[in-house]
Chain A
Amino acid sequence: MKLNVDGLLVPFPYDYIYPEQFSYMLELKRTLDAKGHGVLEMPSGTGKTVSLLALIVAYQRARPSDVTKLIYCSRTVPEIEKVVEELRKLLDCYEKELGEKLPFLGLALSSRKNLCIHPEVSALRYGKDVDSRCMALTAPHVRAQSDGSRPLCNFYEDWDTHGRSVPLPHGIYNLDELRALGRRRGWCPYFLARYSILHANAVVYSYHYLLDPKVADAVSKELARRAVVVFDEAHNIDNVCINAMGVTITRRTLDRCQSNLAALQEAVQRLQQVDEARLAQEYRRLVQGLRDPELSQGGPLLPEDVPTEALPGSIRSARHFLGFLRRFLGFLRTRLRGGPLRQESAPAFLRDLRLLACIEARPLRFCSERLRSLLRTLEVLDVSEFTPITLVANFGSLVSTYSKGFTIIIEPFDDRTPTISNPVLHFSCLDASIAIKPIFERFQSVIITSGTLSPLDMYPKILDFRPVTMATFSMTLARTCLCPMIVGRGNDQVAITSKFETREDIAVIRNLGNLLLELSAVVPDGIVAFFTSYQYLESTVAAWYEQGILENIQRNKLIFIETQDGAETSMALEKYQEACECGRGAVLLSVARGKVSEGVDFVHHYGRAVIMFGVPYVYTQSRILKARLEFLRDRFQLRENEFLAFDAMRHAAQCVGRALRGKSDYGIMVFADKRYARPDRRGKLPRWIQERIPDSSLNLTVDEAVQVAKGFLRAMAQPFRQEDQLGLSLLTVEQLQSQEVLQRLEQGVQQL
């Protein structure tokens, strides 16, 4: 069907549309018109992706001069694939409408690990190995002096000779199709995709290709300004930004650095004897101040912070540079050895560096670039071997470039094992806005969207940008298919809470167990329960076992537990789903912030109820977190508690949101902690959950909760047809034009 969104004709691949999808497109169009950034929150399972794609593609077609490209960033490979499929559906719809194929190129890009078709390289297990093997086969210096003795990648060679001149034919390509195409033509799909994103109309890839300066510069540097960037599932975007800029150095890293350094020294000496000219050439290049644009890529610094003047004389020659690194490394080793926990700012660190090791900040800034130049001159084949020293060099460059928004924390031991010395140096980025700022500046429109972005004004604050639109959309429902409630007490009136003082209380644990037990008796199919941490999960389950609760639950349903081991967890998940398929149902015990809470959906019978045991606060004693809180308070006037509550609530919302993935789906959401009832906490839940918690279910006992659940489930068990939804939560084109509906649409949007 074709929609008229504020004067823009948008073909939509489905026959019906949700009202909130239409309002979402309206807001989106306003954002694009204003050429600004937007923050949009829409409940999960209401077709965010397709609305985004439909509107932006239509906009692109209508005003090709305003928007040339869509860059869609998602988190995981399955999500990327999903987006590409939606895009394909949309393009099919266009084709049907126009009767011919649209000249449109959309493709997914992922790491070499997911795209490589080289028989040997693609067989490697870890992404890191694939990367370094691929580089060893395709690096310019390897190819330049190939006399047949060194193996090269035929796929890359073929692509390099023919591929650049032949653009990818129009169409939509997911990862599999890229690989298939690569096999058919004998071209490397990875480089083909990387090259093709420059002229593609839509690119779908991971956050890191934009946010992590180490890869962003190489991949996304040439993308045009007139592009729309979409960050989907962006509720964790601040953490992605922070991780992209941080460095963690352990004792082991330094030990391996030492051997790296020795290897480099040896290589330099060997080269001096064998082929002095190469070193001389590099040296001359550096003396003349000529800098290789290729080398400035792949560094840890943001493009605008990369120094542009000539390299300082003190690290120009290879041997001097190695001596420089040796001193720096020696200093770090001593620093890591030194006694108590310490936290310092970058200027203080640099001062000590100058006083004790005679290292100035200026050469240190060039450290990472110089190392890359050296590695290239030495023609190192296996770059991954030199990861540790690259890391340390990156740290040097970062610490001497950024003085604000970063902190250095040296922990002498892990908090859990205070007797074992295991010093770690964290160079931690506190300011999420540093990494994302160039994106906001470079691209015309950046859309940040997710199912859980509440409170909306938090994101512009911590990412430091000015959005033109901020809106949250509620869910129009023909029947109330979600049932959030807050259970604050057990049947014995003991408060349920995961507060530190009472979390080990037998009564509290028993009440939690009773809640799960009684719900498992009334809820059909799958139940997912989230704990605040692995530790808490273990101790609680142990206590339940002793109290006999576990046994009683097992009479109703099977129990599966998420662990820190990835393989074990996927096994548990698989079996859980199998158990749900069998009909008797199962209970999955997992952890907020874990793998299950972020990426896995529990549609329909896989998750009929979600229980959130406790409020998932972060580990507040962590030094890094403390430093960040302090920074947020100073810089953005965010109180510690406010940020902690915000962070906890977004994770809680994320967890309970797993159960509801569409309007025909239904689920119970239980918040088992009395603290959820407090207005400042409740206010931070997404609007679509908040407005469905009636005042009567703010502080339920276990019994009451079970009663509410029973009533809800009975209502949901009634047959539900599509006709019931029509006109209310599902609209046709004709309905969309009526005045009454449009008025209702207005109410569904809350703008800030």
Chain B
Amino acid sequence: MEAAGGEAGGRQREAAAAMAMDMDDLGCPRCKTTKYRNPSLKLMVNVCGHTLCESCVELLFVRGAGNCHECDTLLRKSNFRVQLFEDPAIDKEVEIRKKVLKIYNKREDDFPSLSEYNDFLEEIEEIVQGPCTQVTNQRCHKSLELPRQAEGQSWRFMGFRPLPSAYAIFQHGQIYNLTNNVDLENTKRKMELYQKDNKEVIQKNKIKLMREQEELEEALEAERQESEQRRLLIQKEEQIQQILKRKNKQALLDDLEKSSLPASLLLAQHKDRSTQLEMQVEKPSQVRPVTFSTGIKMGQTISLAPIPKLEEALYTYQPLQVETYGPEVPELEMLGRLGYLTHVRAASPQDIAGGYTSSLACSRALQDAFSGLFWHPN
């Protein structure tokens, strides 16, 4: 999993490098170099959203940390990234957003309904960009007016314990907003709170997300490979066509050289053949269906092989030997002849219909009576 994450990061860096290639008119605000004058200029941006070129970063942050030359924020050198967007503010926002999303990574299936998920999404936006109007605050207040119990649940659900501090944030209708540096402290506290409460969910979703990303990558990779294969196939087909045509031409020459037939006939034959060849080219290769009507891929082998046999000794029946410690009970058939049945109630037609015979009951009674008769404790 670690490796996959690293790989994704690498790809992201690559893509970023490719995109940041050409920004002619942008320049470093400190040394005033522009991309035009120095094509290898690399602009960097840190968490505060102010741009510096790579050499200025090297120069100013020799010790690994320092202050931003514009806003005096304490910055670390390792936090500098290649600037992607023309507007560094977007870079900053995206950076923050990524951080927030790492924590607020709940997904739609974690919520009972879509509207709650949507509220959650809006929550994220509020953290990153700030609430737009008082309307949102009204919504917050409104939900605070709900009966206490339900409200507590809903907040817990959203990831906030109904703590006094969390209340305070909402009740004052304060604006917290990471991108615009407004009310940083409260927002940060809120995020920490959320993180603590939702540790498990966050971890679980992180794993899920990674797996999903991997799947997407795989799908894209498969697509690429498929198109590559197709290209090769077509190339091959074309080559074969070329060879056939050449052969046909050669055959005509040979025929003209050797055959005794009139040339016009040979030419006509050749023409026929070449048209045939051409028409053959026109004929589209038969479409091979890729999936069955059930949606199962054709290449996929569904194992039709029988379930493997378990090799072990077969069970053999051994008649049961029961020691009854009593006289032998006569066989079922013998009961009537020996006169036992005369002492038992005869079976009525209804009983017989149900499968009952009087000998059954009699034999059972005899077994009961005889067993253990000869038993002696010694």
Contact = CB atoms under 8 A, between A and B. Distances in A.
Contacts of A678: 278
B85 A330 contact: yes
A253 B19 CA distance: 19
Contact of A309 (B8, B114, B220): B114
Contacts of A283: 133, 135-136
B67 interface: no
B18 interface: yes
Contact of B216 (A318, A351, A356): A351
A356 B90 contact: no
Interface stretch (A119-127, A227-235, A335-343, A388-396): A335-343
Given A279-B135, A348-B220, A680-B278, A334 B93 contact: no
A412 to B, nearest CB: 9
A320 interface: yes
Contacts of A351: 216, 220
Given A326-B90, A330-B87, A356-B94, A639 B18 contact: no
Nearest to B136: A317
A124 to B, nearest CB: 36
A357 B94 contact: yes
B220 A355 contact: no
A314 B125 contact: yes
A312 B108 CA distance: 11
A272 interface: yes
A335 B20 CA distance: 9
B209 to A, nearest CB: 11
Contacts of B114: 289, 309-310
A317 B97 contact: no
A678 B281 CA distance: 13
A282 to B, nearest CB: 9
Nearest to B134: A276
Contacts of B23: 337
Given A323-B129, A355-B12, A637 B285 contact: yes
Contacts of A339: 18, 21-22
B129 A320 contact: yes
A334 B84 contact: yes
Contact of A352 (B15, B87, B285): B15
Interface in A645-667: none
A108 B18 CA distance: 52
A742 B244 CA distance: 47
A358 interface: yes
Contacts of A347: 216, 219-220
Interface in B9-64: 11-12, 15-16, 18-23
A312 B118 contact: yes
B19 A317 contact: no
Majority secondary structure, A binding face: helix
A484 B20 CA distance: 58
B279 interface: yes
B85 A333 contact: yes
A512 B219 CA distance: 53
Contacts of B121: 312-314, 363
A358 B128 CA distance: 12
A311 B125 CA distance: 14
Nearest to B282: A680
Interface string B119-131: 1111111000111
Given A318-B132, A339-B22, A637 B287 contact: yes
Contacts of A499: none
Contacts of B118: 287, 310-313, 316
Majority secondary structure, B binding face: helix
A585 B276 CA distance: 45
Contacts of A280: 133, 135, 138
Nearest to A284: B135
Interface string B327-347: 000000000000000000000
A88 B90 CA distance: 62
Contacts of B132: 272, 279, 317-320
Given A345-B223, A356-B16, A642 B282 contact: yes
A630 B234 CA distance: 11
A680 B280 CA distance: 10
Contacts of B183: none
B269 to A, nearest CB: 16
A334 B19 contact: yes
Contacts of A222: none
Interface in A528-576: none
A241 to B, nearest CB: 22
Given A339-B18, A356-B15, A638 B216 contact: no
B282 A358 contact: no
B300 interface: no
A261 to B, nearest CB: 11
B284 interface: yes
Contacts of B120: 313
A194 interface: no
Interface string B84-128: 111100100110011001000000000000110111111111000
Contacts of A326: 87, 90
A439 to B, nearest CB: 25
Contacts of B281: 639, 641, 680
A679 interface: yes
Given A276-B133, A317-B122, A323 B220 contact: no
A331 interface: yes
Nearest to A323: B129
Interface in B218-247: 219-220, 223, 227, 230, 234
A61 interface: no
A131 to B, nearest CB: 31
A316 B216 contact: no
Interface string A280-300: 100110010100000000000
Contacts of A638: 284
Contact of A334 (B85, B139, B227): B85
Nearest to A357: B94
Interface string A351-368: 110011110000100000
B211 to A, nearest CB: 15
A100 interface: no
Interface in A375-390: none
A284 B133 CA distance: 12
Contacts of B90: 326-327, 330, 357
B291 interface: no
A321 to B, nearest CB: 9
Given A338-B22, A356-B15, A642-B282, A327 B93 contact: yes
28 contacts: A283-B133, A287-B139, A289-B115, A313-B119, A313-B123, A317-B125, A319-B133, A323-B93, A323-B125, A326-B87, A330-B90, A331-B85, A333-B85, A334-B19, A337-B21, A337-B23, A338-B18, A338-B20, A338-B21, A339-B18, A348-B220, A357-B90, A358-B97, A358-B101, A639-B282, A679-B278, A680-B278, A680-B279
Given A287-B115, A679-B275, 13 more contacts: A280-B133, A317-B136, A318-B133, A319-B133, A338-B22, A345-B220, A347-B216, A355-B8, A634-B230, A639-B284, A642-B284, A678-B278, A679-B279
9 nearest A-B residue pairs (beta carbon): A313-B121, A319-B132, A313-B118, A313-B122, A317-B132, A330-B85, A637-B284, A330-B90, A314-B121
